[in-house]
A and B are shown apart, each in its own frame.
Chain A
Amino acid sequence: QSALTQPASVSGSPGQSITISCTGTSSDVGVYNYVSWYQQHPGKAPKLMIYEVSNRPSGVSNRFSGSKSGNTASLTISGLQAEDEADYYCSSYTSSITLFVLFGGGTKLTVL
């Protein structure tokens, strides 16, 4: 089964807002509210930023928000800061019997 589809890169200036999309199918993103987002800085482990589509773990800035429409989930970062520059991965539970969760290919966010 293919990974979820994310844009390879997005960019924005400090203070601006950006949105990263994550497109799946009716076997994953489209039917389950089990979409999560992870931030990964170079050489570091992924960090949970959003779970179950739109929930933020304790300690994650409210500048990060998530949503979903149909087969596409989105991560929005408002008030961009230099420290937001990182790779972002979406993930979704899948009903495929051979997979547990699918990850997106990752999006490199550059803060200009």
Chain B
Amino acid sequence: EVQLVESGGGLVQPGGSLRLSCVASGFTVSSNSMSWVRQSPGKGLEWVSVIYSDGSTYYADSVKGRFTISRDNSKNTLYLQMHSLSTEDTAVYYCARLHAGRFYFDYWGQGILVTVSS
């Protein structure tokens, strides 16, 4: 059974940093393309970043230069390192798997809340 479990969220002050983790089971992260998608409170979904199976990475303009997506193949885990956080980054962050490297998400984690506030 495919499962994605996020962790690492919480309360952080503006300008701070946080690293999110997403542990996968039931499939191999390195053989798949994975993404982070976020949802601000009461708002819609926003794509954040993707890492393809070949290791190439892409970011939304809103996080480029501040966030880094990566994976640890030995731990079958996806990461999102976030720096220079602002209140606008407050959201539930979901990790999601892209089906066969195509452009839709077939499995999602339960989400983890990141709150940026002083």
Partner-B contacts on A (CB < 8 A)? 3, 32, 34, 36, 38, 44-48, 51-52, 57, 89, 91-93, 98-106
Q: How many A-B residue pairs have CB under 8 A?
A: 64
Segment at the A interface, from B13-21, B72-80, B104-112:
B104-112
CB distance from A91 to the nearest CB of B (A): 7
Give the interface residue-count category, chain B. 20 to 34
Partner-A contacts on B (CB < 8 A)? 35, 37, 44-47, 50, 58, 60-61, 64, 94, 99, 102-106, 108-111
Name 29 interchain pairs, CB-CB below 8 A, sorted by A.
Answer: A34-B103, A36-B104, A38-B45, A45-B94, A45-B109, A45-B110, A45-B111, A46-B37, A46-B45, A46-B94, A46-B105, A46-B108, A48-B105, A48-B106, A52-B102, A89-B45, A91-B105, A92-B103, A93-B103, A100-B58, A100-B60, A100-B103, A101-B103, A102-B47, A103-B37, A103-B44, A103-B46, A104-B44, A106-B45
CB distance from B97 to the nearest CB of A (A): 10
